């Protein structure tokens, strides 16, 4: 009887913060060069290296990115064990679990050369060497260091026959060089581009980009918990108001998520980013750059435009701080939703009539400016006038300046 061929499974782990096309190119390269049946993408809950900062995006969404990427190529599969485990995971624990789940498989761990060079510091590194083969990718400029890297390691540790593996009929473990195109895409560079509102189209799969752009991930490095909650609540309120006032709930929610994506960024940085994008900033905005975070978020939406409907989202987000005359329905929805939890306890308490609700927001914003003795933006006064705020209220605050 012919022995059944053992499956060959590649493992590509990482925080995938975010997943990008370089990961997929690497995985495909491993599949093709080493006749793998599949590559398992294994998102980590957190890096076991303490020196690394925690991922910016939660495990749940990084897992979703990986799933979206794998959905387009049957050769990839997703293993969510590390995310389920929650705590930082060690590769050896993952391998032990995967071996239990797949007793008929040989595993090929895809690692970077720098990670591989530090294998001695990995938990149970010796056991790992016995259990898996390593596919080590070369990095730009590392060819000449080979003697100290893969080659040296292979001679030292992996050259001899592994008796146990042979007894079990497994393929002998080894260290192989994974040659391929040198890919200059990195998650940190993508995060940096997104932070400055540049396009990353083509760097990440479209499904991943739409997830990133729906929630406005990677806008600021650290977002205060309260702000994140506010964005979540505004998204929910905007979706509810969209249903009430006849607009797309999905677009309204997206506007809610994105409107304050740059709110935690230092206002001076917001100002300089906008100006570096060639946008004109007026005098009132320059003196109160806090007003500008909506314009920056709109600029981000345009940079990574997902489709024609995005123009409406950008429009809603752009002037949510001041409002203006000629607001679209979506704009008014965001304008009102932003005040739910402040001027109204919840969406149910918002007046049924859209005009009444919008007018109330303008009045409230004028009252706040008056209390704090701040100058109103002309857009705010134009909008207030159009939505029927009493002239004495408008001219009262305008006269102060
Ligand atoms: Fe805002
Ligand atoms: Fe807000």
Ligand number nearest CA of 291 is: 1
Q: What is the rounded distance in angstroms from the CA atom of residue 106 to the CA atom of residue 248?
A: 49
Predicted TM-score (pTM) of this structure? 0.88
Give 318 Cα–ligand 1 centroid separation in angstroms.
10
Which of the given ranges, 122-126, 161-165, 291-295, 370-374, has the highest pLDDT on average? 291-295
Give 320 Cα–ligand 1 centroid separation in angstroms.
6
Ligand number nearest CA of 262 is: 1
189-399 folds as Hypothetical protein af1432 (1.10.3210)
Q: What is the rounded distance in angstroms from the CA atom of residue 178 to the CA atom of residue 134?
A: 9
The answer to whether residue 222 scores a pLDDT higher than 70 is yes
pLDDT digits (tens, 9 = 90+) for 157-208: 443 344 454 444 445 578 999 987 777 889 999 999 999 999 999 999 999 9
Average pLDDT along the chain: 89
Is residue 298 within 8 Å of residue 331, measured between CB atoms? no
Give 261 Cα–ligand 1 centroid separation in angstroms.
8
pLDDT average, residue stretch 72-89: 92
Give 291 Cα–ligand 1 centroid separation in angstroms.
8
pLDDT digits (tens, 9 = 90+) for 308-358: 999 999 999 999 999 999 999 999 999 999 999 999 999 999 999 999 999
Give 230 Cα–ligand 2 centroid separation in angstroms.
7
Give 232 Cα–ligand 1 centroid separation in angstroms.
13
CATH class of the domain whose range is 7-183:
alpha beta
Ligand number nearest CA of 227 is: 2
Specify the pairing of strand 7-14 against strand 38-43. Answer: parallel
Is residue 14 within 8 Å of residue 44, measured between CB atoms? yes
Give 339 Cα–ligand 1 centroid separation in angstroms.
10
Give 16 Cα–ligand 2 centroid separation in angstroms.
29
Ligand number nearest CA of 263 is: 1
Ligand number nearest CA of 341 is: 2
Q: What is the rounded distance in angstroms from the CA atom of residue 59 to the CA atom of residue 303?
A: 26
Give 238 Cα–ligand 2 centroid separation in angstroms.
11
Give 313 Cα–ligand 1 centroid separation in angstroms.
14
User: Given pLDDT bands bounded at 50, 70 and 90, which one contains residue 109?
Assistant: very high
Ligand number nearest CA of 342 is: 2
Domain boundaries, the chain: 7-183, 189-399
- More confident call, 300 vs 113: 300
Percent pLDDT > 90 in the chain is 76
Tokens 């303490």 found at: 50
Give 176 Cα–ligand 1 centroid separation in angstroms.
52
User: Given pLDDT bands bounded at 50, 70 and 90, which one contains residue 155?
Assistant: very low
Give 258 Cα–ligand 1 centroid separation in angstroms.
9
Ligand number nearest CA of 292 is: 1
Give 178 Cα–ligand 2 centroid separation in angstroms.
48
Give 298 Cα–ligand 1 centroid separation in angstroms.
12
Q: Is the peptide bond before 18 cis (omega within 30 degrees of 0)?
A: yes
Give 94's Cβ-side CA count (13 Å radius): 32
Class of residue 81 by CB neighbours under 10 A (exposed 0-12, middle 13-18, buried 19+): middle
Which of 398, 242, 230, 263 lies closest to 332, judged by CA? 242
Is residue 12 within 8 Å of residue 110, measured between CB atoms? yes
- The partner residues of 14 in beta bridges, in order of sequence, read 43
Ligand number nearest CA of 226 is: 2
Give 225 Cα–ligand 2 centroid separation in angstroms.
14
- The partner residues of 136 in beta bridges, in order of sequence, read 111, 177
Which residues crowd ion ligand 1, with CB under 5 Å? 260
Confidence at residue 139, expressed as pLDDT on a 0 to 100 scale? 65
Which of 211, 184, 183, 213 lies closest to 198, judged by CA? 213
- The partner residues of 112 in beta bridges, in order of sequence, read 137
Ligand number nearest CA of 234 is: 2
């Amino acid at each position: 009887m012919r022995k059944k061929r053992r499956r060959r499974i590649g493992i590509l782990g990482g925080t995938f913060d975010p997943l990008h096309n370089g990961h997929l190119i690497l995985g495909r390269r491993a599949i093709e060069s080493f006749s793998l049946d599949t590559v398992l993408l294994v998102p980590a809950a957190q890096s076991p290296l303490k020196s690394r900062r925690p991922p910016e995006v939660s495990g749940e969404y990084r897992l979703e990115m990986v799933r979206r990427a794998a959905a387009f190529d049957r050769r990839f599969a997703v293993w969510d064990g590390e995310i389920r485990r929650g705590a930082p995971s060690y590769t050896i624990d993952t391998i032990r679990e995967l071996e239990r789940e797949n007793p008929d498989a040989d595993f090929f761990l895809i690692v970077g050369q720098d990670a591989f060079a530090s294998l001695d510091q990995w938990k149970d590194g010796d056991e790992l060497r016995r259990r898996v083969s390593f596919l080590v990718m070369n990095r730009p400029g590392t060819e000449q260091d080979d003697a100290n890297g893969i080659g040296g390691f292979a001679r030292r540790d992996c050259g001899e026959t592994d008796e146990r593996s042979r007894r079990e009929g497994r393929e002998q473990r080894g260290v192989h060089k994974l040659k391929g195109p040198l890919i200059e895409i990195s998650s940190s560079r993508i995060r940096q581009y997104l932070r400055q509102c540049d396009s990353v189209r083509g760097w990440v799969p479209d499904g991943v980009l739409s997830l990133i752009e729906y929630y406005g991930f990677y806008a600021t490095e650290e977002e205060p918990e309260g702000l994140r909650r506010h964005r979540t609540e505004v998204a929910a309120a905007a979706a509810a108001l969209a249903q009430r006032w006849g607009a797309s709930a999905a677009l309204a929610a997206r506007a809610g998520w994105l409107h304050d994506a740059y709110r935690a960024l230092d206002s001076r940085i917001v100002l300089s980013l906008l100006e570096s994008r060639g946008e004109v900033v007026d005098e009132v905005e320059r003196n109160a750059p806090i007003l500008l975070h909506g314009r920056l978020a709109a600029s981000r939406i345009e940079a990574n435009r997902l489709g024609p409907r995005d123009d409406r989202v950008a429009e809603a987000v752009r002037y949510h701080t001041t409002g203006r005359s000629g607001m679209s329905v979506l704009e008014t929805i965001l304008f009102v939703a932003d005040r739910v939890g402040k001027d109204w306890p919840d969406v149910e308490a918002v007046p049924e009539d859209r005009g009444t609700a919008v007018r109330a927001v303008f009045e409230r914003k004028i009252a706040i400016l008056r209390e704090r003795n701040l100058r109103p933006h002309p857009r705010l006064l134009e909008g207030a006038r159009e939505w029927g705020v009493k002239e004495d209220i408008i001219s009262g605050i305008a006269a102060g300046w």
